[in-house]
């Protein structure tokens, strides 16, 4: 089931990417990084930049993607947090990291309506510099929080599979401390996003953009920042995830000798591959394009893939509605609580049903044993 869901999500992502590439190629084939000529009144961008800002890619495709992310991400992440906080009695490090990941996604999703309104308003930001900075900071904060917490979950699963006897050494206090450190570090590394202008007046279009146009006088500052964050915020967690999952796959492969556990191990392998693929699909294109774009911007080289760059940033937001499905497949307890929630069952009712079902199975086994014993006795006379 998890493999089928992963394939569907990957195909949806690929389809959206193909559509966006087609739209971006129609709007411009030689789009430069949106800097232009700076004056005291704002920035005058090139005709190709105007074509992209007026294209269906940014004014129709982007808001449609964000509507999907908001419609799916808001209820699923809210439900995930509710399950982890109020329905999960026995907290464990994995549930703590998943709850923090859901919180990071939710904090980003609640700001998406501003992004939708911005693109539907012909890329004209009307909410002020402060809200634009908050939106940009939450976007990148969500990205770096997600990569960090997924890396933490990957390490936990590695220890559970490769070193199962050491699970008792893990504790909730340590997981809580690590989660707090992640939040603190992400908050610190997003502070620079508040230190330079995110809104820019485009004089030849009479609009104000949010994070779409960079002032030439400030281009070096974000270039250095995003190159560093590409390594620290993406490359390091990516390496951790790949190493952890490769080691898990090796351990599972070497243990597939007992026929009784082959099926369970195969499901675990499918799940591991699913999580790794979704991580790479959601975060790799956007982070690579961010580093490429700002590298070219810092040295004044033409960026012919700017349309694809802004598209990968848009599609990266899909991770906010993909993560809850990962929780569903990773955690058996999460699946159980979700099913009980949809069936309107309380925790006590679900526990009673499990006890009744177990008693029913036991009584059937007892009656079968008694019947067989009686038949055996009767056959001896």
* Model confidence pLDDT, tens digit, residues 324-375: 777 666 666 666 666 666 665 544 554 554 445 455 555 554 554 444 545 4
pLDDT grade for 260, boundaries at 50, 70 and 90: low
Higher pLDDT pick, 265 / 192? 192
Q: Which residue has the higher pLDDT, 318 or 275?
A: 318
Least confident of 23-27, 126-130, 163-167: 23-27
Question: Is residue 120 domain-resident?
Answer: yes
Separation CA 212–CA 199 (nearest Å) = 8
Range with the poorest average pLDDT among 19-23, 24-28, 174-178, 321-325: 24-28
What integer pLDDT is reported at residue 312 of this predicted model? Answer: 84
Q: Is residue 132 within 8 Å of residue 199, measured between CB atoms?
A: yes
In a domain, 4, yes or no: no
How many domains are contained in the chain? 1
In a domain, residue 261? The reply is yes
> Are 152 and 182 spatial neighbours (Cβ–Cβ below 8 Å)?
yes
> Does residue 60 lie in a domain region?
yes
69 domain-assigned: yes
Task: Please write the tens of the pLDDT for every residue from 239-254.
Answer: 998 898 888 888 777 6
Q: What is the pLDDT of residues 193-250, one digit of tens each?
A: 998 889 999 988 889 999 888 887 887 888 888 889 888 899 999 999 889 888 888 8
- Whether 232 maps to a domain, the answer reads yes
Measured in degrees and rounded to the nearest 5, phi and psi for residue 45 equal -90, 165
Q: How confident is the model at residue 376 (pLDDT cuts 50, 70, 90)?
A: very low
User: Does residue 270 surpass a pLDDT of 90?
Assistant: no
Instruction: Please check the confidence at residue 184 and state whether its pLDDT lies above 60.
Output: yes
Residue 191's pLDDT is 92
> What CATH number does residue 287 fall under?
1.20.1070.10
Residue 381 pLDDT greater than 50, yes or no: no
If you search the block for the tokens 């439900």, which residue do you land on?
79
Decide: 19 and 307 in contact? Cβ < 8 Å: no
Q: Taking 60 as the threshold, does the pLDDT of residue 81 lie above it?
A: yes
- Structure confidence at residue 283 (pLDDT): 86
What rounded mean pLDDT belongs to the chain? Answer: 76
- Contact call for residues 190 and 141 (beta carbons, < 8 A): yes
- Cα 347 to the chain's mean position, in Å? 29
User: What's the pLDDT score for residue 126?
Assistant: 94
Could you give the CA distance from residue 297 to residue 52 in angstroms, rounded to a whole number? Answer: 17
Q: Is residue 3 part of a domain?
A: no
pTM of the model: 0.77
Confidence bin at 25 (pLDDT 50/70/90): very low
Domain around 255: 35-351
Instruction: Please tell me the distance from the alpha carbon of residue 203 to that of residue 201, in angstroms, as a whole number.
Output: 6
CA distances from residue 297 to 213, 228, 231, 367 in whole angstroms, order as listed: 11, 15, 18, 77
> Which pLDDT tens digit goes with each residue over 108-155?
999 999 999 999 999 999 999 999 999 999 999 999 999 999 899 888
The answer as to whether 299 is a domain residue is yes
pLDDT above 60: residue 22? no
Higher pLDDT, 106 or 9: 106
pLDDT band, very low/low/confident/very high, at 180 (cuts 50, 70, 90): very high
Q: Is the pLDDT of residue 311 over 50?
A: yes
């Amino acid at each position: 089931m998890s493999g089928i869901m992963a394939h569907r999500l990957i195909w949806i992502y690929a389809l959206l990417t193909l559509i966006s590439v087609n739209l971006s190629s129609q709007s411009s084939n030689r789009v430069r990084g949106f800097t232009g000529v700076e004056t005291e009144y704002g920035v005058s961008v090139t005709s190709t930049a105007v074509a992209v800002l007026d294209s269906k890619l940014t004014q129709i495709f982007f808001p449609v993607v964000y509507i999907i992310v908001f419609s799916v991400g808001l209820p699923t992440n809210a439900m995930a947090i509710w399950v982890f906080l109020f329905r999960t009695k026995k907290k464990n490090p994995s549930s703590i990291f998943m709850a923090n990941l859901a919180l990071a996604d939710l904090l980003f999703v609640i700001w998406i309506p501003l992004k939708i309104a911005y693109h539907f308003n012909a890329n004209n930001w009307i909410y002020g510099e402060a809200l634009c900075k908050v939106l940009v900071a939450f976007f990148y904060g969500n990205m770096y929080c997600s990569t960090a917490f997924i890396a933490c979950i990957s390490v936990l699963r590695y220890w559970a599979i490769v070193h199962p006897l050491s699970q008792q050494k893990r504790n909730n206090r340590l997981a809580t401390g690590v989660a707090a450190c992640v939040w603190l570090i992400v908050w610190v590394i997003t502070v620079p996003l508040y230190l330079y202008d995110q809104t820019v007046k485009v004089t030849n279009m009479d609009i104000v953009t949010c994070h779409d146009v960079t002032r030439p006088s400030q281009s070096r500052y974000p270039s250095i920042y995003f190159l560093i964050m590409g390594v620290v915020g993406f490359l390091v967690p990516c390496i951790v995830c790949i190493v952890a999952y490769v080691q898990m796959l090796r351990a599972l492969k070497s243990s597939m000798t007992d026929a009784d556990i082959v099926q369970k191990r195969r499901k675990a392998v499918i799940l591991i591959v699913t999580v790794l693929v979704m991580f790479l699909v959601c975060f790799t294109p956007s982070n690579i394009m961010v580093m490429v774009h700002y590298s070219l911007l810092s040295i004044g080289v033409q960026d012919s893939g700017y349309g694809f760059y802004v598209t990968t940033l848009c599609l990266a937001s899909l991770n906010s509605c993909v993560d809850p499905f990962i929780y569903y497949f990773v955690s058996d307890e999460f699946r159980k609580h979700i099913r009980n929630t949809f069936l309107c069952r309380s925790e006590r009712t679900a526990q009673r049903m499990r006890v009744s079902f177990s008693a029913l199975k036991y009584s059937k086994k007892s009656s079968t044993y008694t019947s067989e014993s009686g038949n055996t006795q009767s056959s001896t006379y």
